[in-house]
Structure 1
Amino acid sequence: MIINQPVFTVLLVEDEIADADLVRMAFEESRVLVRLHHVVDGVEALKFLRRETEASATAPRPDLILLDLNMPRMNGREFLQQVKQDEDLRAIPVVVLTTSDVERDVVESYGLGAAGYVVKPVDLDQLIHAIKGMESYWFTVVKLPE
């Protein structure tokens, strides 16, 4: 018997293609049913969220945003500030997924409205474990806005 499991939409904001590929592989390996959309910086992410790109015109609103902090054009802090000031976007949970474990980055991210802060593991198995943890929390335990 096939059970219909919900499919969640995740927007990954990550400038490093190799890191984005690892996140995609981690979702595939963890068997989390997600539609993963990837953009390379905060500017592209805002365009995606505001449906200003061809790719986002028909894409469902993300249930979760995974955000790198250090990116060109518009970094993660600037993006987070913009999203949390936007009436239409502020309810989307944003989890910072970055290599930085600097305390001021953690404090600043939460101060700007991040729903979580995860330091990217360097090992694929650890990343899969982290993605499974996120899946369990964000897509099973909590109630997300529709």
Structure 2
Amino acid sequence: MKKNLTILLIEDDMIEVMKLNRTISKLEYPHKIIEAKNGEEALSILFKKDRLPDIILLDLNMPKLNGIEFLSILKNDSELRYIPTIILTTSNNRKDVLECYKIGVAGYVIKPLKFGDYVELIKRVLDYWSCNELIKG
């Protein structure tokens, strides 16, 4: 049975934020998106621990605290480490991929250039996670 997800999107590019929201709307998914512009903002949301997301979609290239730095802090927290975190980025740098999996990322997907391909990618990712058993905060 598919669940409605609460998704924490950590993305500094407002066009990318709008693109994900447009995709969710186009797919007519009931998922709730919580937006954070950078890793610091995301950590302040998460450390409240009052409304933890089901999954995190994380961009790597951000100001203040990049995706890998954020991931390292997240995975060192005894409660937050279990939130599945999926990298959603334009970086196909092999070093980034390896580092993210080493830290404990649940998935690493590269944003396609074409909007139709992006919609299909997001559909697959969210369909997969909406039928997983997730730890509720």
TM-score, normalised by the number of residues in structure 1:
0.88
Contact 1:15 1:41 in 2 (8 A): yes
What is the letter of the counterpart of residue 26 of structure 1? Answer: T
Q: Percent identity?
A: 38
Which whole-Å CA distance do the structure 2 matches of 1:77 and 1:111 have between them? 10
Q: Secondary structure at the match of 1:50?
A: helix
- Cα deviation 1:5-42 (Å, max 9, x = unaligned): 74210000000000111011111112222110111110
Give 4+ residue runs of structure 1 displaced > 6 Å after superposition.
none
Unmatched runs of 5 consecutive residues or more in structure 1? none
Contact 1:84 1:113 in 2 (8 A): yes
RMSD: 1.4
TM-score, normalised by the number of residues in structure 2:
0.93
Matches within 5 A, 1:1-146: 6-51=3-48, 60-140=51-131, 142-146=132-136
Contact 1:66 1:97 in 2 (8 A): yes
Which whole-Å CA distance do the structure 2 matches of 1:131 and 1:33 have between them? 14
Contact 2:9 2:36 in 1 (8 A): yes
Which whole-Å CA distance do the structure 1 matches of 2:112 and 2:23 have between them? 11
> Would you tell me which structure has more helix in proportion to its own residues?
2
Larger Rg computed on CA atoms: 1
What is the letter of the counterpart of residue 104 of structure 2? Answer: G
